[in-house]
Amino acid sequence: MRKSLLLSVLSLGFVTVSFAQTDSLMNMLNSGAPVKNEPVAATFKATRIIDGSSVENLGAGVLDFRISHRFGDLSQGSQNFFGLDNATTRIGLDYGITKWLMVGLGHSTFNKEDDGFLKIKLLKQKKTGMPITLSYAGSVSVQTTPAPTLPTGDTWLFSNRLYYTNQVLIARKFNDWLSLQLMPTIVHYNLVDSSKFSNNTVAIGIGGRIKVSKRIAITGEYYYRATNADMTYNGQKTYNALSLGIDIETGGHVFQLMFTNSQGLTDRTFIGQTTDSWGKGALHFGFNISRVFTVVKPREFRDTKATSW
C-alpha cells in the first residue's frame, strides 16, 4: 500500500506542476510578453535514465556504442571483492535513423540474452502549447542459454525463449533543473507457470532527473508491478526495481554511475525478475558509458570537408 501511495503522490505532483506551469504561460500570454514556440531541449541527457529508456533519441545518422555494467551484490563481501567478481555486462549498438526514430541491438551476459528495440518519438514538448514529450518504446529479447528440462516433460520450444516489452514514455521538463517521466509498461513472458501467474506483467515506472551543477545531475528510477508482483524467478522471490544514480557530462558524453537492486540489463529482467532488495541491503553498483559516432552527416553539413568520424 505504501508503494502504491508513493506512486500516486508522485503522479499527482507531475500533473499538478504541469498545470501550474500552464497557468504561468497563460499569464505571460495575457500580459503580451512574446513567447517563442520552440521545442524544449535536453529533457534528459542520455537515451536511458538508468536502466530504462528516456524520451531522448539519437540524432539522425548517429551511432552510439554503449556498455552497461552491473557488479554483483555488495553484501557478498571480500570473498567476491564486494561483487566485482560477479558482474554482468550488456554491449549494445544504438542508431538514429531519423530525428524521431532510433533502433538498437545488444547482448547481455545475464542469461546470455540478445535483444533488439526501437523507439519512436510521437510528440515533442514545446515552450508553448505541447506540455509533454511522448514516445513509444518496444523491444524483443531471446535467451540463448542451453535448453532446460521442463518439469512437465514438454518439449522446449524456441518461442519459450522470447520476451516482449511495450512502453509509453511520457516526460516533461519543468525547468532547467527538474525533469520527470512516467513509463506505463507491459512485459510479455512467453513461458510462465500459467496456473499461478499471467504471461503479461503490467508495471508503471517513474523516473526523474535533478540537475545539481553544470555537469552533474542526480537520477532515479522505480518500477511498480501492478500484476505478477508475487512472481518468482528461479525459485526466488522478486522485487520492484529501484535505482539511484549520478549523470556526469564529460565533453559531450554522459557517464552514468548508479546503485540498484537489479543486476539485469534488459527490460524483462529488471522489471519482472529482480531477486534482490534494498530493504535487505542487496545492492549492485554499476555504470553506463557510451561513445557516439556520426556515421551519416546531417544534410546541412554534407558539403563540408570534415570527415564523418
Here the cell at position 93 is: 549498438
Residue 5 has pLDDT above 50, yes or no: no
Mean pLDDT, rounded, for 109-118: 94
Q: Which pLDDT score is estimated for 281?
A: 81
Task: Report the C-alpha gap between 56 and 139 in whole angstroms.
Answer: 16
Percent of the chain residues past pLDDT 70, beyond the cut: 82
Residue 22 has pLDDT above 60, yes or no: no
Lowest mean pLDDT among 4-18, 133-147, 232-246: 4-18
Q: Which pLDDT score is estimated for 166?
A: 98
Query: 120: which strand partners?
Result: 101, 136
Tens of pLDDT, residues 213-235: 999 999 999 999 999 999 999 88
Task: Report the C-alpha gap between 95 and 92 in whole angstroms.
Answer: 10
Element of type H or E holding 248 = strand 242-250
Query: 90: which strand partners?
Result: 68, 108
Residue 119 has pLDDT above 60, yes or no: yes
Q: What is the DSSP string of 18-67?
A: HHHHHHHHHHHHHTT------BPP-SSSSSBSSSSB-S--PPTTEEEEEE
Residue 295 has pLDDT above 80, yes or no: yes
**Amino acid (one-letter) located at 40:** V
Residue 257 has pLDDT above 90, yes or no: yes
To the nearest whole number, what is the mean pLDDT of the chain? 86
Mean pLDDT, rounded, for 103-107: 98
Q: Which pLDDT score is estimated for 149?
A: 77
Other residues' Cβ atoms within 10 Å of the Cβ of residue 261: 22
Q: What are phi and psi of 41, to 5 degrees?
A: -100, 150
Q: Which pLDDT score is estimated for 30?
A: 53
Task: Report the C-alpha gap between 274 and 231 in whole angstroms.
Answer: 10
Q: Is 81 helix (H, G, I), strand (E, B) or coil?
A: helix
Walk me through the domains of the chain, giving residue ranges and CATH numbers: 2-293 (2.40.160.40)
Element of type H or E holding 4 = helix 2-30
Q: Which pLDDT score is estimated for 105?
A: 98
- The residue with greater pLDDT, 294 or 298, is 294
Q: Which pLDDT score is estimated for 17?
A: 44
Residue 40 has pLDDT above 70, yes or no: yes
User: Model-level pTM?
Assistant: 0.83
Confidence of residue 28 (pLDDT cuts 50, 70, 90): very low
Residue 291 has pLDDT above 80, yes or no: yes
Tens of pLDDT, residues 165-203: 999 999 999 999 999 999 999 999 998 888 899 999 999
Task: Report the C-alpha gap between 17 and 253 in whole angstroms.
Answer: 30
The helix, strand and coil proportions of the chain, stated in percent and rounded to the nearest 5, come to 20, 45, 40
Antiparallel, parallel or unpaired: β 216-225 and 200-211: antiparallel
135, 136, 142, 148 alpha-carbon torsion, rounded to 10°: 110
Percent of the chain residues past pLDDT 90, beyond the cut: 67
Q: Which pLDDT score is estimated for 80?
A: 61
Tens of pLDDT, residues 41-96: 999 999 999 999 999 999 999 999 999 999 988 776 666 665 677 789 999 999 99
